[in-house]
Amino acid sequence: MSDYNAMELMISVAARELEDGASVGVGTGAPCAAAMLAQKTHAPNLMIVFEAGGVAPLLPEMPISVGDSRTYWKAIMANGMCEIMETCCRGMIDYTFLGGAQIDPYGNLNSTIIGTDHQKPKVRFPGSGGANDFASFCWKMLVMTPQDNKRFVEKCDFITSPGWLQGGDSRARSGLPKGAGPYKIITNMAVMDFEPESKRMRIISINPGYSLTDVEANCGFELRKASKILETQAPTETELRILREEVDPYRYVIGR
């Protein structure tokens, strides 16, 4: 049971960030798997919230969309998207998981276009959905993503979901809630957080099988470094068993 893949590692690391009694806004895929794993291990009272309206379901198995009927299974409430976004605006959601095609040193995310011409981009992506709302108003934003130079860029072609904007206090000065913003970046190679003052991304732990050189070589900007960089804890046998047998037995996510 000691063998695991990159997706299983990222999900396990992300799940450990979610404490019992917290609330988390998730989409489907890896974020949902992380929330389910946390709920089935150390955080039975974790409140999972889906942007389509499901609040605190006890997920029987992996849903395939945020509006899947399983996202309402034994939930305490079946709302709509407007109510969920209002709940975020009121500061009642602790964590959220987001991703994108690009991420910059301050955790800003692009899931809209690649290229500088908005009308005729090189690539057009689906856009925000509820990601801008979650990034703007949930207290701690986590990102789970593979790491490479094309995804980790010095400047996003478009900012779909705000991170720490230009760093420092620029996010608070923009009018967004003070203290809310990017929290951890979890990749296949490392875990990053953000410096308290500058709000630039920094390495805090490196995943098993990778080196500092690997992490820096697969990033399109200079990463700051914590005073002590740790080794990321590999998934435990218990985490892998629950993830494979209860959370995602059909390997919709961990089979990627």
Q: Catalytic amino acids? A: 51
Burial letters for 89-120: b for 16+ Cβ neighbours within 10 Å, e otherwise? eeeebbbbbbbbbbbbbbbbbbbbbbeeeeee
Which of helix, strand or coil describes residue 95? strand
Tokens linked to 48: 């999972």
Q: Tell me the backbone φ, ψ of residue 75, rounded to 5 degrees.
A: -75, 160
104 near 111, Cβ under 8 Å? Answer: no
Contact indicator for 13, 205 with CB cutoff of 8 Å = no
Burial class (CB in 10 A: 0-12, 13-18, 19+), 15: buried
Measured distance CA(23)–CA(11) in Å, rounded: 17
Name the 3-class secondary structure at 246.
Answer: helix
Q: Are 242 and 16 in contact (CB under 8 A)?
A: no
Q: Are 99 and 145 in contact (CB under 8 A)?
A: yes
